Chains A and B, each alone.
Chain A
Amino acid sequence: MSGRVLNIAWKDMLHLWHNRTLLILVIFGAACELLLVGWATGAEIDDLKTVVIDHDQTAISQGLIDALGAASALTLNEDAVSDLTKHNTRDAALDDTFTGGNFIFNPDNVLVVEIPAGFGAQLTAGEQPQVTLTLNGANSVGSTTARRAAEEVLYTYGAVVLTQNMMEHMGQTPPSADQIVASLESNHPDVVVRYNEELDRAAYTTPSEAAFVLYIIAIMVAAFMLAREREYGTFEQLLVMPQRPIEIIIGKAIPALLVGYANFILVLVEMNVVFDIPVRGSLLLLLVLAIGYLFVELGRGFMVAMIARTQNQALLIVMLMAFVDITFAGYAVPVESMPQVMQALSNLFPIRHWMIILRGILQKDIGLDVLWPQLVWLAALGLIINGITLWFFRRSLAEQK
């Protein structure tokens, strides 16, 4: 048995070797993509364009503008208001019919802060003036960051003005704004970030990419290798030879496994060297589990090939599957933030469990004592998926058209 399995594996390796362009693409394409993703998302989020509409025009409102400008995440778009005024008969700053909506449609602007008339007076009187923040939700990460920064400034600034005002009222010499800010900050809670201490975006996205790479490459190679035999009619040749269906499947799995695995190791090295994201847990455990995970996904790759009749069909089906998989893997949006039904559903996707395992070992240094449920899930899914695939395979052999 093993001989014939290796014969098929060797033949498919020859195929890859003859198609050198594809081979290079398959092996290094993913590594290049990882670089792109890492660099593109690695940059810290700052320079968020902020427009301030100051309907108040007092020293106190000007102080708030200065404070906003000093926040590291925000960059004031100072010309926006005067530009708008130029094209209008009314003064955008003074006329309170001008609101955030007049600026936020511009995709450059992430945040508009609208300071109401009477802001300074209300604040000194101890009342609570309403500052309106308009956020550009289309840029969700940017606007979340901008909102947090703006709220912090507003809170601090309000506290400073109030404190100074109060002490003056009581006839005492108020401390400087810096002093008040310093004492406010000393009251902030201690925030301890674990696992990704710098809250580096690349440290979040590149493991996702690594998990994804292993999956997509393996599934593609597996699906293509089998779909090609069907498309070219060489499948008949395989059938008149003395292999059994299981031998054909395993033989075809080996090259896909090797290519997927080579990719994974390349990506792990790249993450360590380029992005400084080392494997904190057991490398051995990670590498062993990766093989297991590959077997699960290869089953799906072959299933695709049994449904598709040509390589093009296989490609389209893999793409479609990948979109769903990416969603449930928590690649873009964390699964924890999905509705309960979706969260439950996500368990049926092997990549979801693989993502947890990969992150767990890579970043949290946790082992099987914690990750065993994922392992059980993967094993169960693997059995079901590969069982169905084998059944499919046998049936289509019997029902050859």
Chain B
Amino acid sequence: MIQIQNLNRHFGGRFRQAKVSAIAGLDLTIQPGELFGLVGPDGAGKTTTLRILAGILKPSSGTATVNGHDVVDDAEAIKQELGYMPQQFGLYPALTVDENLNFICDVFGVFGNAREQRIQELLDFTNLHEFRGRLGRQLSGGMQKKLSLTAALVHHPKVLLLDEPTTGVDPVARREFWDILTMLHTEGSTVIVSTPYMDEAERCNRVGLMYDGQLMVCDTPNAVKRMLPGMMFALRADNLMLAENVLKTVEGIHDIQPYGDVLNLLVEDESVGTRITACLHDAGVKIESLRPAPPRLEEAFIYFVRQFSTNHVQEVSA
């Protein structure tokens, strides 16, 4: 179980540097066995949150506990129970895959048969067997990510913190990655993963949307989608460019997203549909189809971020 209460962390502020608040009053509770997705725009405080939980960054104020251990006072106890995978490749580029893993095993006290077995098992599901003799820097980006994950798992951590584990990884490797995470989840590990990808967030059992150092929305993916006001329309038309320009002026449309040959429209309610048809007809756009569509997490995410940023701007100017 992870509990974060009124957590704050700022950077700078000394020697006349500007003081930047990375986390401002964060509250979050994650139950054991959850697969929790941390989403949010760049600079929202996702990495800072994970690093505080990993015990490598001290909070400015507030408390955070991992399985009952305080991240400040009891950081050493947490380290044995926790696997952390940083955003950048955090292993040694000048050592081979085997040497890196052996070092990590050494430090975490995984020895003998248990080590051999664990490394075999992890390399099996990350497909890194044939690269065991390769230096860290010679691995591709995706393989480096897999090696980092492997390294974070050698000591059977109960809690796993992953900071954007699939950024810069090809779709096939991404799928494999999530298969591994899902497997860990079903085995009972608590997994917290930060990600910029909404399809990944959709695979979590709960997502938290961070903005400006705070948790704005936190619920299951379906519940988050239901929080979207209004409804979604999917529009197919002969001239999507023109349609988009025309619809920008129509009242009651919150958001327009081109998606391949479809325009996804987030609207206030069903009645806007007739207005859309009328406007497009006037502009000479031929509608092929206009039907209600299920909202996706992506729309919800963009909607909430826009809302928060407008509120934020208003707050600042007020």
Q: Which residues of A contact B (CB under 8 A)?
A: 3-4, 7-8, 10-11, 14-15, 18-19, 232-234, 236-237, 239-244, 397-401
Contact = CB atoms under 8 A, between A and B. Distances in A.
Interface string B1-29: 00000000001000000000000000000
Contacts of B56: 236, 239-240, 397, 400
Nearest to B88: A233
7 contacts: A7-B103, A7-B106, A10-B103, A234-B90, A236-B56, A240-B54, A400-B56
Contacts of B135: 18
Nearest to A19: B94
B238 to A, nearest CB: 51
Q: Which of A241, A398, A399 has the most CB of B within 10 A?
A: A241
Contacts of B92: 11, 15, 232, 234
B95 A237 contact: no
B121 interface: no
Nearest to A238: B107
Interface in B30-63: 51, 54-58
A243 B103 CA distance: 13
Given A233-B86, A233-B90, A398-B58, A242 B76 contact: yes
A241 B79 contact: yes
A242 B89 contact: no
A243 B79 CA distance: 9
A234 B91 contact: yes
Contacts of A397: 56
B2 to A, nearest CB: 16
B159 to A, nearest CB: 12
Given A10-B106, A242-B107, A400-B56, A237 B94 contact: no
Given A15-B94, A242-B108, A237 B58 contact: no
A239 B57 CA distance: 10
Interface of B: 11, 51, 54-58, 76, 79-80, 82, 84, 86, 88-95, 99, 103-104, 106-109, 135, 151
B86 A237 contact: yes
B103 A11 contact: yes
Contacts of A7: 103, 106-107
B80 A242 contact: yes
Given A14-B99, A243-B107, A400 B51 contact: yes
A393 to B, nearest CB: 14
A4 B58 CA distance: 24
Contact of A240 (B84, B93, B94): B84
A11 B95 contact: yes
Contacts, number: 70
A166 to B, nearest CB: 81
B91 A237 contact: yes
Given A236-B56, A242-B79, 11 more contacts: A7-B107, A11-B99, A15-B92, A237-B151, A239-B55, A240-B54, A241-B79, A241-B104, A241-B107, A244-B76, A399-B58
A234 B95 CA distance: 12
A8 B107 CA distance: 8
Contacts of A4: 106-107
A401 B151 CA distance: 23
Contact of A232 (B58, B79, B93): B93
Contacts of A399: 58
A29 B89 CA distance: 33
Contacts of B108: 241-242
Given A4-B107, A11-B103, A400-B51, A240 B76 contact: no
B141 to A, nearest CB: 14
Nearest to B55: A240
A18 B95 CA distance: 7
A19 to B, nearest CB: 7
Contacts of A15: 92, 94-95
A234 B151 CA distance: 12
A400 B106 contact: no
A234 B104 CA distance: 12
Contacts of A241: 79, 104, 107-108
A265 B86 CA distance: 42
Contacts of A240: 54-56, 79, 82, 84
A400 B56 CA distance: 7
A293 B84 CA distance: 38
A14 B95 contact: yes
Contacts of A400: 51, 56-57
Contacts of B54: 240
Contacts of A401: 11
A233 B89 contact: yes
Contact of B90 (A8, A14, A236, A244): A236
A231 to B, nearest CB: 10
A233 B91 CA distance: 8
A11 B109 CA distance: 15
A83 to B, nearest CB: 62
A18 B51 CA distance: 31
Nearest to A4: B107
Contacts of B82: 240
A401 B47 CA distance: 11
Q: Which of B94, B104, B108, B151 has the most CB of A within 10 A?
A: B94
